[in-house]
Amino acid sequence: MSELEERVETEASVTEAEANNMESAAPAVEEAAPVVEEAAPVVEQAAPVNETEPAAEAEAPETAAPEAEKSWYDSASYRPEESRDPVYADAHFEPASSTTVPPRYYTPPVRQEKEKKAKPAAKRQLGLRGAVALSLVCALLGGCLGAGISTLSANKRFEALETALEENSQADAETAAALADAEQRQNSLASPVASAAGLMSPSQIYQLACSQVVGITTKVTTQSFFGTQTGTVSGSGFILSEDGYILTNYHVVEDADVGNLPVNVVLYDGSSYEARIVGKEDINDLAVLKIEASGLQPAVLGNSDEMQVGDEIYVVGNPLGELEFSMSTGHVSALNRSITTEGAIDIPMFQLDAAVNHGNSGGPVYNTRGEVVGIVTAKNSGSDVEGLGFAIPSSDAARIAEDLVTKGYVTGKAYLGIWTDERYNAMVAQYYNMPLGAYVADVSQGSAADKAGLTAGDIITALGDVTIESPSDLRSAIRGYNAGDSAELTYYHAGESKTVTIVFDERTPETENAAPATQP
Query: For the chain, what is the total number of helices (H) and then of strands (E)?
Result: 11, 20
* CA-to-CA separations, 297 to 41, 268, 361, 372, in angstroms, rounded: 123, 11, 20, 13
Residue type, 360: N
Residues in contact with 373: Cβ distance below 8 Å, sequence separation at least 6, in sequence order: 301, 302, 303, 304, 307, 313, 365, 366, 367, 393, 394
Residue type, 396: D
Nearest alpha-carbon partner for 308 in 361, 356, 368, 355:
368
**Per-position DSSP letters for 87-109, written without gaps between them:** TT-STT-----SS----SS--PP
Contact 463/457 with Cβ under 8 angstroms? no
Question: How many Å apart are CA 402 and CA 410, to the nearest integer?
Answer: 8
Question: How many Å apart are CA 50 and CA 66, to the nearest integer?
Answer: 25
**Per-position DSSP letters for 257-306, written without gaps between them:** HHHT--EEEE-TTS-EEEEEEEEEETTTTEEEEE-S--S--PPPB--GGG
**Beta-bridge partners for 440:** 420
Q: Is 112 exposed, middle or buried (0-12, 13-18, 19+ CB in 10 A)?
A: exposed
Contact 376/388 with Cβ under 8 angstroms? no
**Per-position DSSP letters for 307-325, written without gaps between them:** --TT-EEEEEE-GGGTSTT
Q: Does an H or E element contain 365, and which?
A: strand 364-366
**Per-position DSSP letters for 462-488, written without gaps between them:** EETTEE--SHHHHHHHHTT-BTT-EEE
Contact 460/453 with Cβ under 8 angstroms? no
Nearest alpha-carbon partner for 411 in 347, 483, 474:
483
Question: How many Å apart are CA 367 and CA 332, to the nearest integer?
Answer: 10
Question: How many Å apart are CA 491 and CA 206, to the nearest integer?
Answer: 53
Sign of CA dihedral 273, 276, 278, 279: positive
Q: Which residues are catalytic?
A: 251, 285, 361
Nearest alpha-carbon partner for 509 in 281, 286, 341:
281
Q: How many CB atoms lie within 10 A of CB 183?
A: 10
